[in-house]
Amino acid sequence: MPIYEYQCQSCGHQFDVIQKVSDEKLTICPKCNEKKLKKLVTSAGFKLKGTGWYETDFKNKKKEKKTEKQQKNK
């Protein structure tokens, strides 16, 4: 899901929100409760969930292989 950045034009509060692409834009500031939120244009940010991604499946396999090799050499 994409991470969007918002800024309140009333109080200047800036924050990030994880939202679906289909979700409506936020309009009310969580800090001052004014209807002055503006979605900012930023670089793309997103979260990969589930299996099949580097973070969940492949990141630690290199360490495991090194450990196996070290144990065989002993």
Is the alpha carbon torsion for 14, 17, 21, 25 positive or negative?
negative
pLDDT digits (tens, 9 = 90+) for 1-48: 788 999 999 999 999 998 888 999 999 999 999 999 999 987 766 677
Tally of domains in the chain: 1
1 three-class SS: coil
C-alpha–C-alpha distance, residues 16 and 39, integer Å: 10
Phi-psi category of 54—alpha, beta or left, where left has phi over 0 and alpha has psi -120 to 50?
Answer: alpha
Angle at 22 between CA 21 and CA 26, to 5 degrees: 85
In a domain, 53, yes or no: no
In a domain, 24, yes or no: yes
pTM above 0.75, yes or no: no
CATH of the domain at 10: 2.20.28.10
